């Protein structure tokens, strides 16, 4: 006589299969943030990619050593974020950002560089970058910045952010000082900023060389500067 064994519904379920299916669903809902890197130092590029790949929330898609390969390879990938160096061998990272944004506007660009120059920061942001970090940034802060920029933020190293704030403050002060100049003094300073010599300015305005020299002295006093280059710098910051 054959003994029949009743198999319950619970016994027929495959828990391993259930976990695999559920895992696929979870991965789909929590899609990894895709990152491309443009860095001319191959060792640093490899290290940075490896560190980012250790975080389960990110995956590196595309490593590029120069602008030419980046502009060709990034648009088809259309990643979420591009980490961009500035000092590249063919074109600067700033120019790469500008051209990349025309070809592929979706990815958010995070500059990762050694350059702290305020003008370099502004050039990168004008070109289309959304964040700016220094290369000595700890990896955990880099991950925070990647999350932030992916959510629409504009992460910056605190040192860089302070420089940006100071630049705005200095620009405001420079604007007030330039506004304190008379209309004629502003006209003279504008010509100076264009590279004109005092004699050329005198000829353009129909006055004597001595008059222009007097104007320049007054301009220096009102702007609290002692040289032509400093006066021009404040004119451009207005």
DSSP 169-184: HHHHHHHHHHHTS-HH
pTM summary value: 0.62
Query: Coil, helix or strand for 34?
Result: strand
CA 198/CA 215 separation, integer angstroms? 10
CA 127/CA 118 separation, integer angstroms? 14
CA 219/CA 187 separation, integer angstroms? 11
Same domain, 30 and 102: yes
Same domain, 189 and 116: no
Question: Which of 156, 180, 202 is where one domain is finished?
Answer: 156
What's 229's domain CATH number? 1.10.10.10
CA atoms within 13 A on the CB side of 195: 0
Same domain, 173 and 107: no
Could you tell me the mean pLDDT of each successive run of 10 residues in the chain, 238 residues long?
Answer: 41 31 41 96 96 96 96 97 95 95 95 87 89 93 95 86 66 69 90 88 91 89 81 77
- Local structure of residue 185 (DSSP, 8 states): H
Question: Which of 156, 180, 211 is where one domain is finished?
Answer: 156
- Looking at the 3D structure of the chain, how many domains does it have? 2
What pLDDT is attached to residue 82? 98
What pLDDT is attached to residue 20? 29
Query: Who's near 224: CB < 8 A, 6+ residues apart?
Result: 177
Question: Which of 122, 156, 190 is where one domain is finished?
Answer: 156
What pLDDT is attached to residue 50? 96
Q: What is the CA radius of gyration of the chain?
A: 29
Could you list the residue range(s) of the whole structural domain that residue 202 is in?
Answer: 164-237
Same domain, 150 and 190: no
CA 206/CA 107 separation, integer angstroms? 54
Residues facing 108 on adjacent strands: 81
What pLDDT is attached to residue 168? 59
Contact between residue 99 and residue 72 where contact means Cβ atoms under 8 Å apart: no
Same domain, 115 and 49: yes
Same domain, 197 and 131: no
Within-domain flag for 3? no
Residues facing 38 on adjacent strands: 64, 84
Instruction: Give DSSP secondary structure letters for 40-72.
Output: S-HHHHHHHHHHHHTSTTEEEEEEESSHHHHHH
């Amino acid at each position: 006589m054959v003994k029949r064994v009743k198999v319950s519904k619970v016994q027929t379920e495959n828990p391993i299969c259930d976990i695999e299916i559920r895992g696929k669903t979870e991965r789909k809902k929590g899609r990894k943030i895709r990152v491309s890197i443009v860095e001319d130092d191959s060792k640093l590029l490899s290290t940075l990619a490896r560190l980012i790949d250790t975080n389960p929330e990110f995956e590196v898609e595309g490593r590029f050593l120069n602008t030419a390969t980046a502009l060709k390879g990034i648009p088809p990938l259309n990643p979420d974020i591009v980490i961009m160096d500035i000092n590249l061998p063919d074109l600067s990272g700033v120019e790469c950002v500008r051209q990349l944004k025309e070809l592929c506007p979706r990815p958010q660009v995070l500059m990762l560089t050694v350059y702290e120059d305020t003008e370099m920061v502004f050039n990168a942001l004008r070109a289309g970058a959304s964040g700016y970090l220094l290369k000595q940034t700890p990896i955990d802060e880099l991950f925070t910045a990647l999350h932030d920029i992916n959510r629409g933020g504009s992460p910056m190293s605190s040192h860089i952010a302070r420089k940006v704030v100071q630049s705005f403050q200095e620009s405001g002060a420079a604007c007030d000082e330039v506004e304190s100049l008379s209309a004629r003094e502003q006209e003279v300073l504008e010509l100076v900023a264009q590279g004109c010599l005092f004699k050329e300015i005198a000829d353009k305005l129909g006055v004597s060389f001595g008059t222009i020299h007097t104007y320049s002295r007054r301009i220096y006093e009102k702007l609290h500067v002692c040289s032509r280059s400093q006066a021009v710098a404040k004119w451009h910051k207005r």
